[in-house]
Structure 1
């Protein structure tokens, strides 16, 4: 009888050791996968930081030539402020998407301001922002791959049990915003003071004639608003 109890004890001990080894191994694999996600995001964050560091110069340049585009400038400032005020990856990515959408609108609007479009500093900033965005896109691919592998581990049995025990949670993919499909509206002339209206007359992008507030240019007849 004693030897039966002894065998049972050994079997239970072996099972406990196997379970412990499984838990430790799975935990370490999950930590490794999570660290890879963090490292991949750090690569993105470095490029995002560079991108947002360019914004004060961009805002100053746009202010010189199109200061009445208040909404665009406010959106750029809001995205920069939101990014700088958080350390949460999800929120940083959201601010980057907001900035991307705003910059697309800004660059479309710049077509209506020849002086701004031709400004050397503005052109350089466009190139630097575009280059940084390309680097973000490249880093995003590695980040999303790391997130997918990590999330798959969390969802598969029996690793999901270990993940639940130690509080591992899924990470979100870095999804990009859709392209701007329509050109943004120019500023509303009614929002300007008389002084601003005189200083910054709205011009036709086709013939550069000063507009009179109607939807068609009084000089070339082009529809502009």
Structure 2
């Protein structure tokens, strides 16, 4: 065969191998983002599962604080039905605000603050909040790597061809930038 034919075959082979490598890399990154997202959802679910016990404990001491208790229940339900990072972030912000109101109420009840179950639930909730923060950070880092890769050459060519679209970051809602004001 002619030397030109070998050069063309080598170039085609390199393109095919590069394309396969880019595709596999994009699949791997996409799955990594999905895995990180599921960790956020796991931790949000863990927190949502703790909340009914916390609310029940507060109800026992502060039954007349029904509005704050109902706000927590409503925000928890909204978080359970939220789909996608921005909807989850918004619902999470509402739940954080409702929980902070409930915890302010708890401050007014010394017997509640001294209750062993309440303290244990608060410790669990605090640990879960830390886990959520770590999971969000890990998720956003994997989204950043994925989004950077699909916008960089040569992967961007294959990403566009195979339909790899940018993924959404888990962003705090606008209200999270300000300290919530609790008014009764």
Aligned equivalent of 2:162, options 157, 162, 166: 166
Structure 1 length normalisation: TM-score?
A: 0.68
Q: What is the CA–CA distance in structure 2 between the aligned matches of 1:15 and 1:81, rounded to whole Å?
A: 56
Matched, 1:131 2:103: no
Question: Quick one: which of 162, 180, 185 aligns to 2:183?
Answer: 185
- Aligned residue runs from structure 1 range 49-60, under 5 A: 49-60=45-56
* 2:174 counterpart of 1:153: no
Q: In the alignment, what sits opposite 2:93? A: 97
* Cα separation, partners in 2 of 1:101 and 1:32, compared to 1, 3 Å: same
Matches within 5 A, 1:209-220: none
Contact 1:108–1:183 (CA under 8 A) maintained in structure 2? no
User: What is the rounded CA distance, in whole Å, between the counterparts of 2:181 and 2:116 in structure 1?
Assistant: 24
Provide, for residues 12-39 of structure 1, a one-character-per-residue CA deviation record: whole Å limited to 9, x for no partner.
4444333222221111111111111122
Once the two structures are overlaid, the 10-residue window that deviates more, 176-185 or 138-147, is 176-185
**What TM-score comes out, normalization by structure 2 length?**
0.80
The answer to whether the Cα contact below 8 Å between 1:83 and 1:96 also exists between their aligned partners in 2 is yes
1:142 to 138, 145, 156: 138
CA contact (8 A) 2:47 2:128 kept: yes
Match of residue 121 from structure 1: 117
Structure with the higher fraction of residues in helix conformation: 2
Give the total of aligned pairs. 182
Alignment partner of 1:61 is 2:57:
yes
Counterpart of 2:104 (choices 101, 108, 132) is 108
**Deviations 1:151-198 (CA, angstroms, capped at 9, x unpaired):** 111221332221111121222223345366254011xxxxxxxxxxxx
Query: Whose Rg is larger?
Result: 1
Say whether the 8 Å CA contact 1:104–1:180 is kept in structure 2: no
| Greater Cα shift, 137-146 or 25-34 | 137-146
The reply to whether residue 75 of structure 1 matches residue 58 of structure 2 is no
* Bigger relative contact order (CA 8 A; separation at least 6): 2
Change (3 A) 1:151 1:119: same
Root-mean-square deviation (Å): 2.7
